[in-house]
Chains A and B, each alone.
Chain A
Amino acid sequence: MTTQELIEKTGLRPLSKFENRNVEGVYISDMVSDVMAGAKSGNLWLTVQTHKSIVPAANLVDVAAIIITGGKQVPVETVELASKYNIAILSSDLPTFQLVGKLYEFGIGAK
């Protein structure tokens, strides 16, 4: 599934400009150090962290998209930086647990 297909199927709201990527697996963490140590290329990164440093961290490990859960507000500078890096920031009002269930139903499991 690609990022664009994911958006269409799940109703996630794209906040940034992004490169359409194949999505492979999910990584859940609110710590950039944990993401840098454990996330994989193509992962969807689910987090409630919205500080702009999530963008270069996501880029470093080449995640396909960052999903901000729980309806958290994303600062403009985070979105702008993500657009510059062409990394999708998607927003969901669902809590992380519920969103994971939904993604799993679509066949996006942990890699």
Chain B
Amino acid sequence: MSAAASTLTVPAPTARAAVRPATTEHPAVKWTLIGVSLLFLALFLLLPLVAVFYEALRKGFDAYVNALAERDALASIRLTLLAAGIAVPLNLVFGVAAAWAIAKFDFRGKNLLITLIDLPFSVSPVVAGLIYVLVFGLQGWLGPWLQEHDLKVIFAVPGIVLATIFVTFPFVARELIPLMEAQGREEEEAALVLGASGWQTFWRVTLPNIKWGLLYGVILCNARAMGEFGAVSVVSGHVRGETNTMPLQVEILYNEYQFAAAFAVASLLALLALVTLALKTFVEWKTRHESEALPPEMPGPAQNTIVGSKR
């Protein structure tokens, strides 16, 4: 596909052997680059992916199923689902609210707000866990009060949920803000002028416009929520069957030299990663598809922000 674009260049006068257009590389260079790239990706991406499933099934399929049916493993799966089940909807509501305020209105300090929303991405997961210990831990600000009322946040489920919310905080907002900014306000304004209420405008006009961007953010948010390790590890306390999420269960089994069991739980998380990648690719394809279907004077704003989206 790349060579076609350059046919306009004047062919070299000595046409014989090498009629290679001047804006493509020599085939040897091209195939070397492809070869080295594929080797690099095979070594760093494919090999680990294969290794997870190989190690998980090493002791046979029965051992694999038994490891997953084990009580603590099931408890860790439940806790992971619970933490993601709380963190993702909360960050979804936040993301929509933040994008609405930032994209549809003008106010001072907007850029600062966007930077602050991105902040959790640049904080080390370990530090993310630590700051909640400083607020809710026994030595922390609210520690004495919590103890008085017999409430536990750190080394308990609420701490895990809070840490998960923190590390997945920006995902939905950062997908929606550029998308809604690119879409502008006209459609919502038209709906209001035609007599729709604010909520009707949101549900019938805004939401259909942002649905793929929203889904995209939720997919990434969920993957991180279920896979977070560092932040959750600090606040969990590692109580077996109670405060272990799946990644923490993987760690415990691994440190006890139960490698096959550790990789069995890890393989579930790897499957989640593959499903995430598949869904993500599907949403990217879908947005590209829909924006191409639009008339040319209305370029789909989703394309710029979602396809080639970073992080």
Q: Do A and B come from one complex?
A: no
